[in-house]
């Protein structure tokens, strides 16, 4: 058995913040951001939350798939920016959409998280342990950004995307995933629970001798180099396992981090950039949400036809990276 994507959905916050608006609160400018990243604006939450956007994207995906919430037997949410530590975003989504029969848990593999959740879903379906799975990527990264750090604040955005994965006869699609924890220091966001500093054993409630920094911290150039080196290799590894060539792929749906990264990956694979769709100009880097939001845009925009061959690829904190092959089946 394998899962096929039956439907897609997305949900973006209403509030769009363009580069000019950011330039009013930090030392940056529209020209620099466009040239170095391709980003023009991003959506940032005001009333929305990771849970509300996840539930809204999920409902749209269910409608698109023509599947009732009660038929969903698993909800997987990839996020690093849950509303709450407990309960999981997946359980909160279950309650909101009325998917009473679902098993629910969250996955954290940063910007590779949607692929990790998709592969987990595929494995459950392959093992006969689930038939209809909601896979959601959702982030409120604006809550993790230091709005005085121009090196990171200009990059990120909020949003959610979802797909419904349904069991069908057939072989498990090929996917590859990698992690390198030794290089984790290049992209971090510390937790207030690190060590035992808030327990009586660790020096008393809230005591924080180390100066807790709750924001995303990044060595941008190192992440850039990692992405343009590892992602093309990973896609080549994937295609070799599938017995396909890059020329046979209709669309490369990559994590939307930076237009220069996507362009560099296309160049290294010697493929035309027109087969690497991008929407990061509008939404910035939405981490786990970027691949399903883009998939939904392609799906609803009529760019996906039955039989098309797609490669999805993600990369990010951990470090983590991965790619998945799929044929569009609806």
Please identify which residue in 37, 50, 119, 230 interacts with ligand UT7, judged by CB under 6 A.
37
For the chain, strand residue ranges (E) read 2-11, 16-18, 41-43, 74-78, 103-107, 132-140, 158-168, 175-179, 187-189, 216-218, 251-254, 309-316, 320-327
Rounded Cα gap, residues 223 and 152, in angstroms = 12
Catalytic residue among 111, 119, 189, 258: 111
The answer for residues whose C-beta is within 8 angstroms of residue 299's C-beta and 6 or more apart is 8, 64
Please identify which residue in 285, 288, 299, 320 interacts with ligand UT7, judged by CB under 6 A.
285
Letters for 214-243 (x = contact with ligand UT7 by CB under 6 A, - = none) are: ----x-xx-xx-------------------
Please state, in angstroms and as integers, the Cα–Cα distance from residue 142 to each residue in 7, 44, 48, 114, 194, following that order: 28, 6, 12, 19, 21
Rounded Cα gap, residues 37 and 258, in angstroms = 5
Catalytic residue among 104, 132, 189, 255: 255
List binders of ligand UT7 among 44-83 (CB under 6 A). none
For ligand UT7, the closer CB: 28 or 64: 28
Please identify which residue in 36, 126, 229, 233 interacts with ligand UT7, judged by CB under 6 A.
36
Rounded Cα gap, residues 141 and 129, in angstroms = 32
The distance of Cα 241 from the centroid of its chain, to the nearest Å, equals: 24
Question: Does the protein bind ligand UT7 through residue 111 (CB under 6 A)?
Answer: yes
For ligand UT7, the closer CB: 208 or 263: 263
Number of other CB atoms surrounding residue 63 within 10 Å: 12
CB of 45 to ligand UT7, least distance (A): 18
Question: Does the protein bind ligand UT7 through residue 105 (CB under 6 A)?
Answer: no
Q: Are 322 and 115 in contact (CB under 8 A)?
A: yes
For ligand UT7, the closer CB: 75 or 111: 111
Question: Among 127, 124, 132, 123, which Cα is nearest to 97's?
Answer: 132
126 is catalytic: no
Please identify which residue in 1, 2, 15, 32 interacts with ligand UT7, judged by CB under 6 A.
32
255 is catalytic: yes
Q: What is the DSSP string of 199-234?
A: SGGGTSTT--TT----SEEE-HHHHHHHHHHHHHHH
Q: How many residues bind ligand UT7 (CB under 6 A)?
A: 18
Question: Does the protein bind ligand UT7 through residue 253 (CB under 6 A)?
Answer: no
For ligand UT7, the closer CB: 26 or 67: 26
The answer for residues whose C-beta is within 8 angstroms of residue 137's C-beta and 6 or more apart is 77, 78, 79, 113, 114, 117, 160, 161, 162, 286, 287, 288, 289, 290, 291, 292, 293
List binders of ligand UT7 among 170-209 (CB under 6 A). none
For ligand UT7, the closer CB: 230 or 271: 230
Taking CB atoms, the residue at the shortest distance from ligand UT7 is: 220
List binders of ligand UT7 among 135-174 (CB under 6 A). 150-151, 154
For ligand UT7, the closer CB: 61 or 254: 254
Which stretches of the chain bind ligand UT7, using CB under 6 A?
A: 28, 32-33, 36-37, 111, 150-151, 154, 218, 220-221, 223-224, 257-258, 285, 316
Report the catalytic residues. 111, 255, 285
């Amino acid at each position: 058995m394998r899962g096929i994507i039956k439907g897609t959905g997305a949900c973006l916050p209403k509030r769009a913040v363009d580069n000019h608006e950011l330039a009013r609160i930090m030392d940056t400018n529209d020209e620099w951001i466009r040239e170095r990243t391709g980003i023009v604006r991003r959506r940032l939450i005001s009333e929305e939350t990771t849970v509300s956007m996840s539930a809204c994207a999920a409902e749209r995906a269910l409608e698109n798939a023509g599947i009732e919430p009660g038929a969903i037997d698993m909800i997987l949410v990839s996020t690093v920016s849950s509303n709450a530590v407990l309960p999981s975003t997946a359980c909160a989504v279950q309650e909101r959409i009325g998917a009473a029969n679902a098993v629910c848990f969250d996955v954290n593999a940063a910007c590779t998280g949607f692929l990790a959740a998709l592969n987990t879903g595929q494995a459950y379906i392959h093992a006969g342990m689930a038939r209809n799975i909601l896979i959601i990527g959702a982030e409120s990264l604006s809550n993790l950004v230091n709005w005085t750090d121009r090196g990171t604040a200009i990059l990120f955005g909020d949003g959610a995307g979802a797909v419904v994965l349904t069991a069908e006869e057939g072989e498990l699609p090929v996917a590859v995933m990698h992690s390198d924890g030794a290089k984790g220091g290049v992209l971090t966001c510390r937790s207030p629970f690190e060590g035992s500093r808030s327990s009586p054993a660790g020096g008393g409630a809230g005591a924080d001798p180390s100066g807790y920094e709750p924001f995303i911290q990044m060595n941008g150039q190192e992440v850039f180099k990692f992405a343009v080196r590892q992602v093309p290799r990973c896609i080549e590894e994937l295609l070799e396992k599938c017995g396909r060539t890059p020329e046979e792929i209709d669309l490369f749906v990559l994590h939307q981090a930076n237009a220069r990264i996507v362009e560099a990956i296309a160049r290294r694979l010697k493929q035309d950039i027109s087969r690497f769709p991008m929407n990061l100009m509008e939404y910035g880097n939405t981490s786990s949400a970027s691949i399903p939001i883009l998939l939904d845009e392609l799906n609803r925009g009529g760019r996906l036809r039955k039989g098309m061959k797609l490669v999805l690829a993600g990369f990010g904190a951990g470090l983590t990276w991965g790619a998945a092959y799929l044929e569009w089946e609806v």
